[in-house]
């Protein structure tokens, strides 16, 4: 299959890319995948250490998921989900009901992460309206957050390079300064602090919470911000603050769900529950586009009335509850449970982190190596002492990404933060090999 890259570029506009960059680095055509490995048509092997944008939860072409999707395919590919149902959807929700944070019980399907966020925003807006609070029309969010690319999701995300231009199209949201533990304003240590930075949330709530219907957060891990990690205590405090002001709390667990942080959901670390939770990415193991917005009975009940009262949630997506997606998601749950994936991943996570510290911990351009679950991030800085970043124009992370690809490692960075977010099934050998290749790529670009 020669010439795929050239044929691709004649027609395809790739996501999140300056297409001119492809003159120098054309698209890499992948023929097949197995476990943590991807294979190009030329036979070249790549370690997919970013889980193909964080969605590949259990490795590529997992035999159990493959079999489940194939079986479902010969039964039913899709059916309208208004007034109709099917066994895979019912069984999936029964199973998920047993693992989601306490109180979450009603499952509203969509087909991608951004869509599940839009659903959560509309749901909380309408909930407040129907509970006698039509004045609550705004949303609270953290600075530097990421919740997807559609207009509502962009509105509650960071106002960075990628969102700024759309500002006139976006909702006017209320932003709480996010915790930034690496550059802590109070000079405290993550995990031993008392979340002094939470004062910013308290002040913002005091001024604006009464106009707001909900607050949305990426719990514990602000992924797109550069895998920023903050302590569970922050979520605990946020839960109490939201309760005090009658603001709903939306957990965007799209990146953190299904074991990524070492527990099934990031909120589990805090021992509190959100009112609404969005899941996608790992839900189908990265097989099929599916997402769910999960809500409490209390929210669901506020919509439940005679038709004529007009309280229904008139929100829909054509592919809601797609049976193939449900079959994949059911298989994911089976593997997570039967293969004790979270337990095994915890052991590999320690090995990966130790290897990374040994290899890169002393590098003069490594500001911090931080971790949660199997997620490990290396923040590269010009000056380790002052934490001064590299100028963005140098594209340091991008250069390392390109070099790592030569070495057979898919290490797509977030600015100058390079990170590992591998399938939970990665074995210690592959993890250590990825660290070695990453170390070589870093040394090639940054001589120290
Ligand atoms: C990926 C992601 C989204 C968006 O999901 P899409 O399926 O890409 O629309 C939203 N929130 C978080 C935290 C994500 O990581």
User: Residue with the nearest Cα to atom 7 of ligand 1?
Assistant: 113
Among 118, 144, 255, the mutation site with the greatest number of ligand 1 atoms within 8 A of its Cβ is 255
- Identify which of 110, 254, 286 to mutate to test ligand 1's pocket (most ligand atoms within 8 A of the CB): 254
Q: Using one digit for the tens of pLDDT, what is the confidence trace for 42-60?
A: 999 999 999 999 999 999 9
Residue nearest atom 11 of ligand 1, based on CA coordinates: 147
- pLDDT (tens, 9 = 90+) of the chain, 448 residues, equals 469 999 999 999 999 999 999 999 999 999 999 999 999 999 999 999 999 999 999 999 999 999 999 999 999 999 999 999 999 999 999 999 999 999 999 999 999 999 999 999 999 999 999 999 999 999 999 999 999 999 999 999 998 878 899 999 999 999 999 999 999 999 999 889 999 999 999 999 999 999 999 999 999 999 999 999 999 999 999 999 999 999 999 999 999 999 999 999 999 999 999 999 999 999 999 999 999 999 999 999 999 999 999 999 999 999 999 999 999 999 999 999 999 999 999 999 999 999 999 999 999 999 999 999 999 999 999 999 999 999 999 999 999 999 999 999 999 999 999 999 999 999 999 999 999 999 999 999 998 6
| Cα dist from 226 to 155, 182, 420, whole Å | 19, 11, 11
> How far apart (Å, rounded) are the C-alpha atoms in residues 448 and 423?
31
CA dist 364 and 386 (Å) reads: 12
| pLDDT of 191 | 81
* pTM for this prediction: 0.98
The pLDDT of residue 82 is: 97
Binding-site residue positions: 53, 113-114, 146, 252, 281, 316-318, 412
As annotated, the binding site for pyridoxal 5'-phosphate includes 113-114, 252, 317-318
Closest ligand 1 atom to the C-alpha of 115? 9
- Ligand 1 center to 114 CA (angstroms): 6
Ligand 1 center–CA 116 separation, angstroms: 9
Digit-coded pLDDT (tens) for 282-333: 999 999 999 999 999 999 999 999 999 999 999 999 999 999 999 999 999 9
Q: What pLDDT is recorded for position 195?
A: 97
Residue nearest to ligand 1 atom 15, measured at CA: 255
| 3-state DSSP of the chain | CCCHHHHHHHHCCCCCCCHHHHHCCCCCCEEEEEECEEEECCCCEEEECCHHHHCCCCCECCHHHHHHHHHHHCCCCCCCCCCCCCHHHHHHHHHHHCCCCCCEEEEEEECCHHHHHHHHHHHHHHHHHHCCCCCCCEEEEECCCCCCCCHHHHHCCCCCCCCHHHHHHCCCCEEECCCCCCCCCCCCCCCCCCCHHHHHHHHHHHHHHHHEEEEEECCCEECCCCCEECCHHHHHHHHHHHHHHCCEEEEECCCCCCCCCCCCCCHHHHCCCCCEEEECHHHHCCCCCCEEEEEEHHHHHCCCCCHHHCCCCCCCCCCCCCHHHHHHHHHHHHHHHHCCHHHHHHHHHHHHHHHHHHHHCCCCCEEEEEEECCEEEEEECCECCCCECCCHHHCHHHHHHHHHHHHCEECCCECCEEEECCCCCCCHHHHHHHHHHHHHHHHHHCCC
Ligand 1 proximal residues by C-beta, below 6 Å: 112-114, 117, 146-148, 218, 223, 252, 254-255, 280-281
């Amino acid at each position: 299959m020669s010439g795929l890259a050239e044929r691709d570029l004649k027609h395809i506009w790739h996501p999140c890319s300056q297409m001119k960059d492809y003159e120098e680095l054309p698209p890499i055509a992948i023929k097949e995948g197995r476990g943590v490995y991807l294979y190009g048509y030329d036979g070249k092997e790549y370690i997919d250490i970013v889980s193909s944008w964080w969605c590949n939860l259990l490795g590529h072409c997992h035999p159990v998921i493959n079999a489940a999707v194939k079986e479902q395919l010969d039964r039913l590919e899709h059916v309208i989900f208004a007034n109709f149902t099917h066994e895979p959807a019912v069984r999936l929700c029964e199973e998920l009901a047993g693992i989601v944070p306490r109180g979450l019980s009603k499952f509203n399907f969509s087909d991608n992460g951004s869509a599940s966020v839009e659903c959560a925003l509309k749901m909380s807006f309408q909930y407040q309206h129907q509970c006698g609070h039509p004045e609550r029309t705004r949303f609270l969010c953290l600075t530097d957050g990421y919740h997807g690319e559609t207009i509502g999701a962009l509105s509650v995300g960071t106002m960075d390079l990628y969102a700024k231009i759309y500002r006139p199209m976006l909702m006017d949201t209320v932003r709480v300064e996010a915790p930034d533990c690496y550059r802590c304003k109070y000079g405290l240590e993550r995990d031993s602090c008392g979340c002094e930075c939470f004062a910013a949330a308290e002040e913002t709530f005091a001024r604006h919470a009464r106009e707001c219907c909900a607050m949305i957060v990426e719990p514990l891990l602000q992924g797109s911000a550069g895998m920023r990690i903050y302590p569970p205590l922050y979520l605990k405090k946020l839960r109490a603050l939201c309760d005090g002001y009658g603001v709903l709390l939306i957990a965007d667990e799209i990146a953190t769900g299904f074991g990524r942080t070492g527990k099934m959901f990031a909120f589990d670390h805090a021992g509190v529950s959100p009112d609404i939770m969005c899941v996608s990415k790992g839900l189908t193991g990265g097989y099929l586009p599916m997402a769910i917005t999960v809500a409490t009975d209390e929210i669901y009940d506020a919509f439940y009335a005679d038709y004529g009262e007009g309280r229904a949630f008139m929100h829909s997506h054509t592919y809601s509850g797609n049976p193939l997606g449900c079959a994949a998601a059911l298989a994911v749950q089976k593997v997570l449970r039967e293969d004790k994936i979270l337990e095994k991943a915890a052991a590999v996570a320690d090995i990966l982190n130790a290897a990374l510290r040994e290899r890169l911990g002393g590098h003069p351009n490594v500001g911090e190596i931080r971790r949660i679950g199997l997620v490990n991030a290396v923040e590269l800085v010009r000056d380790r002492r002052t934490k001064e970043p590299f100028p963005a124009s140098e594209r340091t992370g991008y250069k390392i990404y390109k070099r790592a690809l030569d070495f057979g490692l898919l290490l797509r960075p977030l600015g100058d933060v390079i990170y590992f977010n591998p399938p939970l099934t990665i074995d210690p050998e592959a993890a250590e090999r990825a660290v070695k290749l990453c170390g070589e790529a870093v040394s090639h670009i940054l001589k120290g």
